[in-house]
Structure 1
Amino acid sequence: MKNAELHTHSCYSDGQISPVQLVRLAKKRRIKNLALTDHNSVKGIKEAIREGKRIGVNIIPAIEVSCDKGEVLGYFIDIKNRKLINEIRRGSKKIQDSIKDRCDKLSKKGYNIRFSELQRKYPKARGNINMFYIFYELFLKGYGETRKIVKELEDQKEYKRKVKRMSLIQGIRLIRGAGGVPVLAHPWIDDEVLKEKNFREYIKEGLKGIEINNGDRAPLRLVRHSKRMKNLIKKYKLIATSGSDYHGKALVKHMSGNHELGANNCDEKVVEELGKLSKNR
């Protein structure tokens, strides 16, 4: 039965609702298994687990780690693992410094945006504010649709500024070290990720799966890499996962594709397969 939602975000990263609200919404949509995969944060997982136990939703402790060539999802992680906590905290600090710098530069160009304002407005995301907040805040202030803002900032070279992040291999190791199961998140975003020479290294380090659908509206890169992903899954006997990459109702209409909670569920058997590979089960 397709009742497992494996890619969601709460207000502890760039989602718009609390973990409790997320779990309750999952219950309404008859989702039995829910993974909270906040960017570089495990702060909301205990809240989600408590509410899940109360209303009958199985919560999978998970994370989405930001890396240099994309992102890696980690399922069934030990949320108390000190190395995991220290590394994501260190990585978030670099991102925060970069976001503050971008806000300062955008402000000088005439945009009504302040990093201190974002910190006050989104206290639970403090220490984990990313570009998504800049896009959404500018949208709220009348600068146009978020996609228009992204294009505008790309043209001004203010979107993809370099931030030194851990490599995908380091991300995989970090998740494995926390007893979790590493899965490549939306790998079609970066062409380098699915190249055979790189992929072999990920397998050596313990990669166990590929996310083949996160609700994106079939961009050319996804279409081009679809067969490639299926071949890699077959060749290396990997787990194919999917999820909505849900960030909140207000953002669903501003993201391309279908990112409604529960729109891209996977089978409960996938959860069982991931659980068998975890050191924490």
Structure 2
Amino acid sequence: MRYYSTSEHAVGFLLGLIGDEDAARVRQRTGIAVGADGSPDLPSAADAAWRNANVPSSVLLWVLEEDSPLGNAVVWRHLPAGDGLRRAIARGVPFGPGRTEPVPVDSLVRREGEPPAPAAYRQHGLVGALRAATTMATGRAAASMVVTPADWRTATEADREAPLPGYARWALSVRPDCPPALRRQFGSHPKFTHRLRQAGVLAGPDRYATEHGPARTVLAVLSAGRTLFPQRVREAEDALRPLVREHLGGREDAWAVLAQLVGTYYGTVPELVATAGAIA
């Protein structure tokens, strides 16, 4: 089986934003190799996109929103998922908007099982464990027990009655599945916003596509997204399509330049596309 590089997946994603006829002509005349026309299987897509990438945590949530057992298993294997998301996957909690039916659990997840509950939760329950958080470790442990929509409502109501400790608030807020209303309830201090960005909590795929870098990594993740989170990846495609058509279009010379640049370019995707077009 041919395994495509991160750069090949990146170019393949952008080629998917122009017409099929133009894309085929560019591939033929430039010799650009692109990964599986942007539709790799789930394991190889995740491997190519995430092998050396610091994947933002919100990307994991976009995958979970598909409520796919195989996609959930991909997230399960990814270290930044954390115990909270792993508990949700193990319990079959649905993430897709409006969905209530449990998600079938992949055999890998069933075999490994849900992480053990922390001692504070066993002793004091959910709210008690959150209020007992006096360190970052205990805050993360307590926050990992917030799993279902009902748990999030319980945490929101508890904080409204009396503010939760800072460690518990921090651990909840940097969860990619934290409800936006609860984040607003926690406040909007600049340090808080900085922590969210550090944790990889993103406004959406369109902002990820246009504001984050390096371009090769972002595009490889989005290429995998065509299989792993197809509903949300469209937002990224819509944001990038006008730029690609303006600066690259069907120009073989511009695509050849882009293929040479993408492997070592550390700017954003819009900067890469504009630079390749300008050089050509």
Q: Same fold (TM over 0.5)?
A: no
- TM-score, with normalisation over the residues of structure 1? 0.28
Relative to its length, the structure with more strand (as a share) is 1
Relative to its length, the structure with more helix (as a share) is 2
- TM-score, with normalisation over the residues of structure 2? 0.29
Instruction: Mark the structure with the bigger radius of gyration.
Output: 2
